[in-house]
Amino acid sequence: MKQHDIVIVGDGVIGLTLAHALAQREMDVALIAKNITSAVTNASPQYDIRVSAITLSSERIFKSIGVWDKIVERRVSPFRDMRVWDATGPGQIHFDSAWVGQPHFGNIIENSVMLAALQENLSRYPTLTCYTDLALTELILPADGAILKTNNDTIFTKILVGADGANSWVREQAGFALEQQSYDQIAIVATIQTELAHQETALQRFMPTGPLAFLPLNHAHDSSIVWSCSPDMAAQIMAYDDEQFCQHLAEAIEFKLGKITHCSPRQSFPLVMRHAKHYVMPHVALVGDAAHTIHPLAGQGMNMGLLDAAELVDVIDKMYQLKRPLGYLPLLRQYERERRTANLLMIRMMDGFKRLFSNTQPILTSARNQGMNITNKLPWLKTMLMQHAMGNQLELPSLAQES
Ligand SMILES: Cc1cc2nc3c(=O)[nH]c(=O)nc-3n(C[C@H](O)[C@H](O)[C@H](O)COP(=O)(O)OP(=O)(O)OC[C@H]3O[C@@H](n4cnc5c(N)ncnc54)[C@H](O)[C@@H]3O)c2cc1C
């Protein structure tokens, strides 16, 4: 039987970030991976259709683990301005990062760029083992750790981390209860080119059918879009030919960037809220999408997962510092308390936004539009919202703090 102090299942951005942070501390950590290749990959000339709006706190996490430069070397797209408006009335809010003394709010980064940067140089850590060819078959939870049975080996660990995404095998095998509800919306994503330059501004138009976001990419006329709408409307949009799609998309964003001159193939994702009722049990923890999935309207899922990983690093550090056994439940619970409370708040806020903006009752529509305009004129409220959107909450885990 193989043994490791910590085993992470899942090599998405969150699992890889955690693996870096723990291996840098010379902890005995194993990563069970599905996608890692030994070849170093550079950003492809084509944009990855999957991108994430990455906050400043997530940027600091990447800096702390030494991969930020590798991400920037490939491709990042800073955004400095955000414009949000209501399709049903005059309500609008404008955010400018300069108002809070920041050069930018965050960066739009292709998921493949983050993955490639995180995969590079993993082999430099002497205490990190990567298993790339294991199929997990069974999880046993004795009192002192976790045992993973695989197609060709058995692994014992004191801390098992499920970073294996929305349909987490670890979550299911360990028996974590899950709150789950469909948002009744599909997100359509694509990369597009526009007639007018985006000027590093993120746009979001809230329609009763769902929000449409334009995220600026590093070429002035390229954007990534996320168009959330009902399943019926999504089926119609997916069936459009490229010309029809570009025309409907330009109309939907009110021609703010002129005509849409080109679009990539589209992909669609059913949107489901998932939230594990607990993130920990003795010797087991969940991070990232394994613990929660959320509507992408505020672009927070990845950022929440990165903060999970950073918080878990803090509590594992404490287990060593306080000489507690690895997987010590009171400290794992501290991780759960910090992160589940923050994530629940974000999930409830997104739920509220989604309901608020899909409501077409005239009184509510008018109040909503007025509320947006009032917010737009209150500098203190806007500053608070901007700080939150940038991930600058009061208590951040060590990896996310300014150095
Ligand atoms: C349309 C859309 C737009 C979004 N936009 C944003 C945004 O702008 N900003 C933002 O912050 N978030 C955004 N998100 C959310 C973000 O994409 C996710 O929160 C994030 O990718 C989750 O990362 P993860 O590593 O937890 O999970 P995943 O990316 O799902 O990674 C899990 C990994 O585990 C691997 N795995 C699974 N099972 C096993 C196994 N048994 N053994 C080994 N490996 C395994 C999988 O292959 C995968 O690589 C968006 C989501 C959607 C759908």
Confidence (pLDDT) at 322: 96
Distance (Å, whole) CA 319 – CA 337? 16
* Unique residue bearing structure tokens 């069974």: 138
- With a pLDDT cut of 90, the percent of the chain lying above it is 76
Confidence (pLDDT) at 60: 96
Query: Ligand 1 in contact with 53 (CB < 6 A)?
Result: yes
Minimal-distance CA residue to ligand 1 atom 37: 164
Query: Ligand 1 in contact with 161 (CB < 6 A)?
Result: no
> Mean of the per-residue pLDDT values for the chain?
93
Q: Which two tokens stand for residue 334?
A: 């501290």
The conformational region for residue 360 under phi > 0 = left, psi -120 to 50 = alpha, else beta, is: alpha
- For residue 388, pLDDT over 80 is answered with no
178 touches 292 (CB < 8 A):
no
C-alpha distances (whole Å) from 20 to each of 13, 32, 33, 41, 93 are 11, 13, 14, 18, 38
**Number of neighbours of residue 39 by Cβ within 10 angstroms:** 7
Q: pTM for the full model?
A: 0.95
111 touches 41 (CB < 8 A):
no
Distance (angstroms) between ligand 1 centre and the Cα of 367 equals 36
pLDDT digits (tens, 9 = 90+) for 183-240: 999 999 999 999 999 999 999 999 999 999 999 999 999 999 999 999 999 999 999 9
Query: Ligand 1 in contact with 14 (CB < 6 A)?
Result: yes
- Name the least confident of 109-118, 131-140, 382-391: 382-391
Query: Ligand 1 in contact with 162 (CB < 6 A)?
Result: no
In sequence order, the β-bridge partners of residue 53 are 108
User: Where exactly are the structural domains of the chain?
Assistant: 2-79+102-180+272-400, 183-271
Distance (angstroms) between ligand 1 centre and the Cα of 284 equals 19
Query: Ligand 1 in contact with 216 (CB < 6 A)?
Result: no
Minimal-distance CA residue to ligand 1 atom 49: 12
- Nearest C-alpha neighbor of 316 from the set 301, 328, 300: 328
Residues in the chain: 403
Report the DSSP pairing between strands 267-276 and 178-194: antiparallel
- Nearest C-alpha neighbor of 233 from the set 211, 254, 216, 253: 211
Atom of ligand 1 nearest to the CA of 55: 11
Query: Ligand 1 in contact with 139 (CB < 6 A)?
Result: no
Q: Which two tokens stand for residue 337?
A: 């308390």
Query: Ligand 1 in contact with 59 (CB < 6 A)?
Result: no
pLDDT digits (tens, 9 = 90+) for 15-74: 999 999 999 999 999 999 998 876 778 888 889 999 999 999 999 999 999 999 999 999
Confidence (pLDDT) at 132: 93
What is the third-level CATH fold of 2-79+102-180+272-400? FAD/NAD(P)-binding domain (3.50.50)
- For residue 379, pLDDT over 80 is answered with no
**Number of neighbours of residue 330 by Cβ within 10 angstroms:** 9
Pocket test for ligand 1, best of 164, 226, 295 (most atoms within 8 A of CB): 164
- For residue 90, pLDDT over 90 is answered with no
Query: Ligand 1 in contact with 13 (CB < 6 A)?
Result: yes
Query: Ligand 1 in contact with 10 (CB < 6 A)?
Result: yes
Distance (angstroms) between ligand 1 centre and the Cα of 12 equals 6
The SS3 assignment for 223 reads: strand
Q: Region 311-319: what's the mean pLDDT? A: 98
Confidence (pLDDT) at 295: 93
Query: Ligand 1 in contact with 303 (CB < 6 A)?
Result: yes
Cβ-Cβ contacts under 8 Å for 164 (sequence gap 6 or more): 9, 10, 12, 15, 170, 171, 290
Cβ-Cβ contacts under 8 Å for 18 (sequence gap 6 or more): 8, 161, 163, 287, 309, 312, 313
Confidence (pLDDT) at 146: 98
Minimal-distance CA residue to ligand 1 atom 50: 296
What is the third-level CATH fold of 183-271? D-Amino Acid Oxidase; Chain A, domain 2 (3.30.9)
Distance (angstroms) between ligand 1 centre and the Cα of 165 equals 5
Q: Which two tokens stand for residue 126?
A: 């002497």
pLDDT digits (tens, 9 = 90+) for 345-366: 989 888 887 777 777 788 878 8
- With a pLDDT cut of 70, the percent of the chain lying above it is 99
Please report which confidence band the pLDDT of residue 374 belongs to, taking 50, 70 and 90 as the band edges.
confident
294 touches 347 (CB < 8 A):
yes
- For residue 89, pLDDT over 90 is answered with no
Query: Ligand 1 in contact with 32 (CB < 6 A)?
Result: yes
- For residue 121, pLDDT over 90 is answered with no
Distance (angstroms) between ligand 1 centre and the Cα of 42 equals 20
Residue with the bigger pLDDT between 392 and 78: it is 78
